[in-house]
Structure 1
Amino acid sequence: MSNVLFDTPGPRARVRHRLYGVLGVLAVAGLVAFVVWRLADSGQFTAGKWQWLQYKQVQESLGRAVLNTVKAFALGAVLAIVFGAVFAAGRLSEHRAVRVVSAFVVELFRAIPLLILMFLFYYGLPVAGIHMTPYFAVVLGLMLYNGSVLAEVFRAGIQALPKGQSEAAYALGMRKTQVMVLVLLPQALRTMLPTIISQLVVLLKDTALGFLITYEELLNYARYIGSIYSFGPVEAPVYFYRPIVPTTIVIAAIYITLCLLLTLLANRLQRRERRSRKHISAPPQPTQAEVAAA
Structure 2
Amino acid sequence: MNTTTLLFEAPGPRGRRRCRLFEIISWAVLAGIAYLVIQTLDKRGAFDAAAWQPLGQLGVWRQLGVGLLNNVRAAVVGMLLSMFFGCFLGWGLLSGHKIVRYPCRAFTDLFNGIPVLLLLFFTSLALPAWGLPLTDFWFLVIALSLYSTAVIADLVRAGVQALPRGESEAAAALGFSGLQSMWLILLPQALRMMSPALVSQMVIVFKGTTLAFVLGGYFDLLRAATVLGAYYSRSLLQAQGIAAVAFMLINIALSQTAAAIDRRERRRYGVPPIGTGSRSPGMPE
Residue ranges of structure 1 left out of the alignment (5+ in a row):
229-239, 279-294
Sequence identity, in percent?
Answer: 38
C-alpha distance in 2 between matches for 1:217 and 1:164? 48
Letter in 2 for 1:250: I
Q: Structure 1, residues 95-118: CA drift from partner, whole Å, max 9, x if none?
A: 211112212222233333322332
C-alpha distance in 1 between matches for 2:29 and 2:179? 55
* Distance change in 2, residues 1:17/1:152 (3 Å): same
Higher mean C-alpha deviation, range 12-21 or range 202-211: 12-21
Equivalent position SS for 1:45: coil
Matched, 1:226 2:229: yes
C-alpha distance in 2 between matches for 1:20 and 1:190? 43
CA RMSD, aligned part only?
A: 2.7
Q: Is the 8 A contact 2:163 2:190 kept in 1?
A: yes
Equivalent position SS for 2:121: helix
Aligned length: 267
* Distance change in 2, residues 1:26/1:141 (3 Å): same
Letter in 1 for 2:220: E
Equivalent position SS for 1:243: helix
Match of 1:104?
Answer: 106
Match of 1:266?
Answer: 258
C-alpha distance in 2 between matches for 1:5 and 1:225? 47
Give the CA deviation at 1:209.
0.9
TM-score by length of 2: 0.81
C-alpha distance in 2 between matches for 1:15 and 1:115? 45
* Distance change in 2, residues 1:183/1:61 (3 Å): same
The one of 133, 142, 146 equivalent to 2:135 is: 133
Higher mean C-alpha deviation, range 139-148 or range 105-114: 105-114
Matched, 1:152 2:154: yes
Higher mean C-alpha deviation, range 162-171 or range 150-159: 162-171
C-alpha distance in 2 between matches for 1:241 and 1:15? 48
Q: Is the 8 A contact 2:199 2:257 kept in 1?
A: no
Q: Is the 8 A contact 2:226 2:236 kept in 1?
A: yes
Higher Rg: 1
Residue ranges of structure 2 left out of the alignment (5+ in a row):
271-285
Equivalent position SS for 1:227: helix
Match of 2:239?
Answer: 247
Equivalent position SS for 1:132: coil
Give the CA deviation at 1:131.
1.4
Q: Is the 8 A contact 1:225 1:242 kept in 2?
A: no
Give the CA deviation at 1:165.
3.5
How do 1:201-212 residues align onto structure 2 when only pairs under 5 Å count?
A: 201-212=203-214
Q: Structure 1, residues 164-187: CA drift from partner, whole Å, max 9, x if none?
A: 433343333332223323343334
Equivalent position SS for 1:44: coil
Give the CA deviation at 1:272.
4.0
C-alpha distance in 2 between matches for 1:158 and 1:98? 17
Higher mean C-alpha deviation, range 44-53 or range 162-171: 162-171
Give the CA deviation at 1:93.
0.6
Matched, 1:57 2:49: no
C-alpha distance in 1 between matches for 2:6 and 2:242? 45
Match of 1:291?
Answer: none
TM-score by length of 1: 0.78
C-alpha distance in 2 between matches for 1:77 and 1:241? 36
Q: Is the 8 A contact 1:121 1:132 kept in 2?
A: no
Higher relative contact order (CA 8 A, sep 6+): 2
How do 1:105-120 residues align onto structure 2 when only pairs under 5 Å count?
A: 105-120=107-122
